[in-house]
Amino acid sequence: MGNIKKPRGTIDIFPDEMGFFRRIESTARDTAELYGFGEIRTPTFEELALFKRGVGEVTDVVQKEMYTFEDKEGRTFALRPEGTASVVRAIIENGKTSDAMPLKYYYLINCFRYEKPQAGRSREFFQFGTEMFGAKDASADATVISLADMIIRRLGIKNVKLHINSIGCPECRPIYRQALTDYFKSHEGELCDTCKERLNTNPLRILDCKNPECAKIAKDAPNTVDYLCDECKEHFETLKEYLKAQNTEYEVDTRIVRGLDYYTKTVFEFICEGIGAQSTVCGGGRYDGLMEQLGGPSLPGIGFAMGITRLILAMKESDSLPYDMKNPTLYIASMGKEATAKALEIVLSLRNRGIYAECDICARSLKAQMKYADKIGASYTLILGDNELATGKAQLKNMYNSTQKEIDINGIYEALSNEPMML
| Angle CA 239–245–251, to nearest 5 | 55
Torsion of CA 174, 176, 179, 181, to 10 degrees: -60
Half-sphere exposure of 409 (CA within 13 A, CB side): 25
What is the rounded distance in angstroms from the CA atom of residue 351 to the CA atom of residue 368? 24
Instruction: Using alpha carbons, select from 179, 161, 288, 273 the residue that is nearest to residue 223.
Output: 179
Quick check: 259 pLDDT over 70? no
Instruction: Give the rounded percent of residues in the chain with a pLDDT score beyond 90.
Output: 72
Instruction: Using alpha carbons, select from 398, 342, 355, 394 the residue that is nearest to residue 373.
Output: 398
Instruction: Using alpha carbons, select from 147, 145, 174, 106 the residue that is nearest to residue 286.
Output: 145
What is the rounded distance in angstroms from the CA atom of residue 92 to the CA atom of residue 102? 14
Instruction: Using alpha carbons, select from 38, 170, 173 the residue that is nearest to residue 106.
Output: 38
Q: Which residue has the higher pLDDT, 81 or 207?
A: 81
Residues 6+ apart with CB under 8 A from 172: 227, 228, 229, 232
pLDDT tens digits, 375-394: 999 999 999 999 999 999 99
Span 330-417: which CATH code?
3.40.50.800
Give the DSSP letter of residue 118.
B
Kindly report the number of other CB atoms within 10 A of residue 326's CB atom.
8
Fold agreement (15-172+228-317, 330-417) = no
Specify the pTM: 0.87
pLDDT-based confidence at residue 423 (cuts at 50, 70, 90): very low
Phi, psi (degrees; rounded to nearest 5) at 129:
-140, 160
Kindly report the number of other CB atoms within 10 A of residue 55's CB atom.
24
At the fourth CATH level, which superfamily is domain 15-172+228-317?
Answer: Bira Bifunctional Protein; Domain 2 (3.30.930.10)
**CA distances from residue 372 to 51, 322, 350, 362 in whole angstroms, order as listed:** 51, 23, 20, 11
Which DSSP string corresponds to 179-244? HHHHHHHTTGGGS-HHHHHHHHH-GGGGGG---HHHHHHHTTSPPGGGG--HHHHHHHHHHHHHHH
Residues 6+ apart with CB under 8 A from 37: 104, 105, 106, 130, 132, 147
What is the rounded distance in angstroms from the CA atom of residue 404 to the CA atom of residue 396? 5
Whether the CB-CB separation of 133 and 118 falls below 8 Å is answered with no
pLDDT computed for residue 354 by the predictor: 92
Average the pLDDT over 284-310 and give the result: 95
Lowest mean pLDDT among 190-199, 300-309, 329-338, 397-406: 190-199
Beta bridge partners of 47: 77
Quick check: 306 pLDDT over 80? yes
pLDDT tens digits, 91-141: 999 999 999 999 999 999 999 999 888 877 899 999 999 999 999 999 999
Domain residue spans of the chain: 15-172+228-317, 330-417
Q: Which residue has the higher pLDDT, 311 or 62?
A: 311
Q: Coil, strand or helix: which one is 389?
A: helix
What is the rounded distance in angstroms from the CA atom of residue 174 to the CA atom of residue 382? 75
pLDDT computed for residue 82 by the predictor: 94
- Compute the mean pLDDT over every residue in the chain, rounded to the nearest whole number: 92
Average the pLDDT over 222-241 and give the result: 95
Which DSSP string corresponds to 49-100? HHHHHHT-TTSHIIIII--EEE-TTS-EEEE-S-SHHHHHHHHHHTTGGGSS
What is the rounded distance in angstroms from the CA atom of residue 329 to the CA atom of residue 349? 13
pLDDT tens digits, 200-210: 888 887 887 87
pLDDT-based confidence at residue 56 (cuts at 50, 70, 90): confident
